[in-house]
């Protein structure tokens, strides 16, 4: 795997037209990479769309990367002899998302999201873990030396199951959830200093926690400690919020006014690294008692209606991209291409990753999937030793670590009753035991076609 001399083989699994595929394409074209990307999606039309878009960019020229794309009929065709595997799939339909997001509302449970937290995330994990395990087995047979970059959620459960199936897998989780916080920190620096041009990559951090619930305990710019500056902003804006565009959160669940972030910082002394919607989902229902309460904190939950609109809008955009309309430069946001470039020997790169804990976070359990920064270089991902979480944050985090372990144990034992313990113990589960039992059974029933694995001998 050498830059500009040997064409890399990259398998891209999933990532159809309504997901990450067309976001990754401009990233790859912007890196000094020579590669063949073999695309596989259970809906081949989506892989074909990405093939057309990617090759269109390649053929137009004017890009750094020499990257070509080929849609494959079978996953095995894409995976065979791959140098890199990118996993970005989500089994299930938009109709099932209604169950994961909204069925708990009938019991007074309002989830801001279900990617990595809340009762809905347990159902997502039960659906996706058998698929992750199957891909881990395929990778062990077809490309055992490949670097595997996972974008699948719930991230902790996906990574844990794949490592259990194929312990020697060179696996790393990629996550862009810290971008919004680092963007906000860069904006604060510009405002405070009266300068322009500061980017999130210019803000140096120490990051520690779990995916979706990680924290910055150090932030610097050009060697200057930014905690005093951030404290001033938190005290000033905790009541009314700090918004880039007024009221954007009402229509965009990825936007917020940082009120949750400021509140938790003033309480615990560390800065939540994710946006308010994601962070609030890991807390007890301090901010999520109902939609009105979420809006009072100036963030909005993900809804099935919003997801359906996004899917429809993206499908329309993909048709335009297939017809030659240029992809926006901002389309690439995952940092995956930079990770590939660094692993292939194209220079060092530092970014947040999710990997099993082997001391990166001192006081989280061994083997738990944790989020820290890592140095990525030729053939190596070296996670940073990030230190220990403060005791008050640790107490909140350990609850999630235990729940995630319970759900993974359900996969190992093929016992859905084991996962119920993690479901019941989620901080957002505020209903009684009888109602929780009924809710769990109803949610499982709605996705039962994905749970055949748990019924096999």
- Rounded Cα–Cα distance for residues 17 and 317 (Å): 9
pLDDT digits (tens, 9 = 90+) for 383-437: 999 999 999 999 999 999 999 999 999 999 999 999 999 999 999 999 999 999 9
**Which residues face 350 on adjacent strands?**
375
pLDDT at residue 17 above 70?
no
The pLDDT assigned to 9 comes to 98
The pair of structure tokens assigned to 6 is 């040997």
pLDDT over 90 percentage in the chain: 79
**What pLDDT digit, counting tens, does each position of 154-164 carry?**
999 999 999 99
26 compared with 233, residue with greater pLDDT: 233
pLDDT at 75: 97
Lowest mean pLDDT among 20-24, 171-175, 332-336, 349-353: 20-24
Q: What confidence score (pLDDT) does residue 16 get?
A: 57
pLDDT at 1 (0 to 100): 41
Q: Which of 94, 113, 117 is nearest to 309 (CA)?
A: 94
Rounded average pLDDT over 86-90: 93
Model's pTM, two decimal places?
0.95
pLDDT at residue 57 above 60?
yes
Q: What does residue 194 show for φ and ψ, rounded to 5 degrees?
A: 65, 40
Q: Which two tokens stand for residue 286?
A: 């301090």
Burial class (CB in 10 A: 0-12, 13-18, 19+), 358: exposed
Nearest residue to 389 via CA among 424, 365, 356: 365
* pLDDT band per the 50, 70, 90 thresholds, residue 332: low
Arithmetic mean of pLDDT, 211-233: 98
DSSP character at residue 455: G
């Amino acid at each position: 795997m050498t830059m500009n001399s040997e064409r890399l083989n990259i398998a891209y699994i999933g990532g159809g037209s309504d997901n990450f595929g067309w976001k990754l394409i401009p990233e790859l074209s912007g890196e000094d990479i020579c590669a063949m990307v073999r695309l596989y999606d259970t809906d081949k039309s989506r892989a074909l769309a990405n093939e057309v878009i990617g090759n269109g960019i390649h053929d137009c020229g004017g890009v750094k990367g020499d990257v070509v794309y080929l849609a494959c009929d079978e996953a095995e065709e894409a995976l065979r002899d791959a140098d890199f595997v990118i996993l970005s799939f989500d089994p299930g339909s938009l109709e099932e998302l209604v169950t994961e997001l909204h069925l708990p509302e009938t019991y007074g449970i309002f989830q801001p999201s279900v990617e990595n937290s809340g009762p809905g995330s347990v159902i997502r994990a039960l659906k996706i873990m058998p698929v992750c395990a199957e891909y881990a087995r395929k990778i062990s047979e077809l490309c055992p030396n490949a670097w595997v970059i996972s974008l699948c959620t719930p991230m902790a459960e996906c990574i844990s199951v794949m490592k259990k199936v194929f312990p020697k897998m060179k696996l790393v989780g990629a996550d862009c959830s810290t971008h919004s916080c680092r963007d906000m920190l860069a904006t604060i620096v510009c405002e405070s200093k009266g300068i322009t041009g500061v980017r999130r990559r210019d803000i140096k951090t120490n990051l520690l926690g779990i995916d979706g619930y990680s924290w910055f305990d150090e932030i610097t710019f050009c060697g200057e400690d930014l905690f005093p500056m951030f404290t001033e902003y938190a005290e000033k804006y905790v009541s009314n919020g700090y918004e880039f565009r007024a009221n954007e959160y009402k229509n965009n669940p990825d936007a917020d006014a940082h009120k949750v972030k400021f509140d938790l910082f003033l309480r615990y002394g560390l800065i939540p690294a994710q946006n308010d919607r994601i962070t609030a989902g890991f807390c007890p229902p301090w901010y999520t008692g109902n939609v009105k309460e979420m809006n009072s904190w100036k963030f909005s939950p993900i809804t099935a209606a919003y997801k359906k609109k996004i899917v429809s809008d993206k499908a329309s955009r993909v048709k335009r991209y297939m017809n030659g309309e240029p992809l926006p430069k901002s389309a690439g946001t995952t940092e995956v291409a930079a990770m590939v470039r660094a692993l292939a020997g194209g220079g060092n790169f530092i970014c947040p990753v999710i990997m099993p804990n082997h001391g990166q976070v001192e006081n989280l359990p061994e083997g738990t999937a944790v989020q820290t920064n890592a140095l990525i270089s030729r053939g190596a991902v070296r996670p940073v030793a990030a230190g220990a979480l403060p005791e008050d944050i640790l107490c909140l985090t350990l609850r999630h670590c235990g729940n995630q372990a319970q759900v993974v144990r359900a996969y190992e034992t093929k016992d859905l009753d084991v996962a119920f313990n993690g479901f019941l113990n989620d901080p957002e589960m505020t209903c009684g035991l009888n109602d929780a039992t009924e809710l769990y059974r109803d949610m499982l029933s709605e996705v039962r076609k994905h749970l055949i694995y748990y019924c096999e001998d």
